[in-house]
Structure 1
Amino acid sequence: MTDDVEPALDIGFPDLDVEFVTEESEERPRRVRVVDNSLRPSKANITAFWSKVVKSPTCWYWVGAISAPDGYGRFNFQRENRQRTMLAHRFAVELVHGPLTPDVVCEHKCNEPLCVRVGPGHLVESTHSENVRYAIALGRLSGHALLDGQGRSRYERSLAIREALRNGYDEDALFHAKTNPGDWQGTLF
């Protein structure tokens, strides 16, 4: 590469409040969104969270972003160039119980990774060791693999469930997504 070629610039995305500029630019101040794990959600953030939840008679399913390989929902919110990304189920527990210390995990008693319903039969505060013991007792952990008991990853199962619920609660579609591995051909978002 020769010295007379200008480096490529990052292009910002419309609807995001982050502006990408080259470091050499002195014409505009650099705006950067800072990760802030102490950021508390606003009412608008909470409304956005619940817009990504589909309630069934049992579990309340997260139908937003899902991360690989664990198959858990992720929720990102921001305000004034500060952002926070957290597990969707942890966000739900914090809405009920307030901020949790880093050593607290949120255990799915319902054995459903996308569930965000807080309560004794669904999400409870726990410890890492108790959560692992419970997962092993239910057969959720097989060595280091996060499998659903039918040969597919928990991530693939979560994607299938999200796809089944994208138009709202549908008992038959949900049952099919949970019990028919390899039958799903959806999109990531």
Structure 2
Amino acid sequence: MLISEQERFWSHVIKGPADNDCWLWVGAVSDDGYGRFWVQRGGKQRAVRPQRYSYELLTGLALPRDVLLLHDCDIPLCVHADIDLARSHVWEGDHRKNMLDREQKGRTVNGATAWRWRGLPRALRAERSRALRQTVLEHGWDPALMSAALSGTDPEHPRLF
């Protein structure tokens, strides 16, 4: 039995238990730490970002190529999109807005805020995304284990808070 493209997409998404939780992509992860979803368009197979697919599907808006989707949650695997920006984890932007968002959240190498994706090399960001995906697939929605995967720490290591 063939499943639809949308059914195939949603089979790779795990939603958190709370309404405002991330919806994590657990399919293919590219070498930059973001998801990858394969679709057929014009008789050709091509990869799309799952957050773009989700956004377009749930909002009904077709995004021009020059429009970026920025993550409010800063989790590259999150595909939680909604027409209501108060609930959506992704929102439309451009390169300038993305750089401002990055600076405001301290995700630059010179940023003052130490945060899980700040200044991470591409390969390490991909490694942490894959660790998050594996954690969710193996253990379900476990915030402590997910946090450890995102920060690259051993979940058994004692934490200060």
Counterpart of 2:44 in structure 1 is 82
d(CA) in 2 for partners of 1:132, 1:93:
21
Structure 1 length as normaliser, TM-score?
0.64
Whether the 8 Å CA contact 2:108–2:118 is kept in 1: the answer is no
d(CA) in 1 for partners of 2:66, 2:42:
28
The structural deviation recorded for 1:137 is 1.7
CA RMSD between the two structures: 2.5
Q: Does 1:154 align with 2:125?
A: yes
The structural deviation recorded for 1:100 is 0.8
Counterpart of 2:158 in structure 1 is none
Runs of 4+ that moved beyond 3 A: 149-152
Structure 2 length as normaliser, TM-score?
0.73
| Aligned residue runs from structure 1 range 42-121, under 5 A | 44-56=4-16, 57=18, 58-68=21-31, 70-78=32-40, 81-97=43-59, 98-119=61-82, 120=85, 121=88
Choose 1 or 2 for highest CA Rg: 1
CA distance change for structure 1 residues 79 and 128 in 2, over 3 Å: closer, same or farther? closer
d(CA) in 1 for partners of 2:106, 2:134:
25
Say which structure is richer in helix: 2
**Structure 1: gaps (5+ residues):** 1-42, 185-189
**Structure 2: gaps (5+ residues):** 111-115, 156-161
Partner AA of 2:30 in structure 1: S
Report SS of the residue matched to 1:166: helix
Counterpart of 1:164 in structure 2 is 135
Whether the 8 Å CA contact 2:69–2:90 is kept in 1: the answer is yes
Partner AA of 1:172 in structure 2: A
CA distance change for structure 1 residues 79 and 44 in 2, over 3 Å: closer, same or farther? farther
Alignment length (residue pairs): 137
Partner AA of 2:46 in structure 1: R
d(CA) in 2 for partners of 1:107, 1:150:
17
CA distance change for structure 1 residues 83 and 163 in 2, over 3 Å: closer, same or farther? same
* Greater relative contact order structure (CA < 8 Å, 6+ sep): 2
Report SS of the residue matched to 1:141: coil
